Amino acid sequence: MDIGKAIKVIRQKQDMTQGQLAERCNMSTNAICDLETGKSWPSRGTVERLCQAFGIPVSYIMVASIEESDIPEGKRVLYRALLEPLRNILLDNKEP
């Protein structure tokens, strides 16, 4: 699972800079950069602040952070078929 990539993707989908996200979360830009690059792992409180800044539930960031290697090999076909559309719907706040 790569939560840092998920944070970056969500931030970019919302046309937000690292500085803007840092300000909304009362964090430093360096801390956001460290999260996105995997140099640090967010605490539960940090994930909650990030999701509040993004305007999404915590569960959305968890879905966005699932990678193919997290899925058992026999179920990866289903993963490929469902996860990307699901991510897009959740992260774009669009109805199916």
**C-alpha triplet 4, 40, 53: angle, nearest 5°:** 55
Whole-structure pTM value: 0.79
Rounded to whole angstroms, the Cα distance separating 86 from 68 reads 14
Instruction: Report the Cα–Cα distance between both ends of the chain, in Å, rounded.
Output: 25
Of 5-14, 15-24, 46-55, 75-84, give the lowest mean pLDDT range. Answer: 75-84
Residue position matching structure tokens 């179920």: 75
Tens digits of residue pLDDT in 41-71: 999 999 999 999 999 999 888 888 888 888 8
Q: Who has greater pLDDT, 58 or 88?
A: 58
DSSP calls for 22-88: HHHHT--HHHHHHHHHTSS---HHHHHHHHHHHT--HHHHHHHT--GGGS-GGGHHHHHHHHHHHHH
Give the Cα separation of 53 and 11 in Å (integer).
10
- What top-level class would CATH report for the domain 3-91? mainly alpha
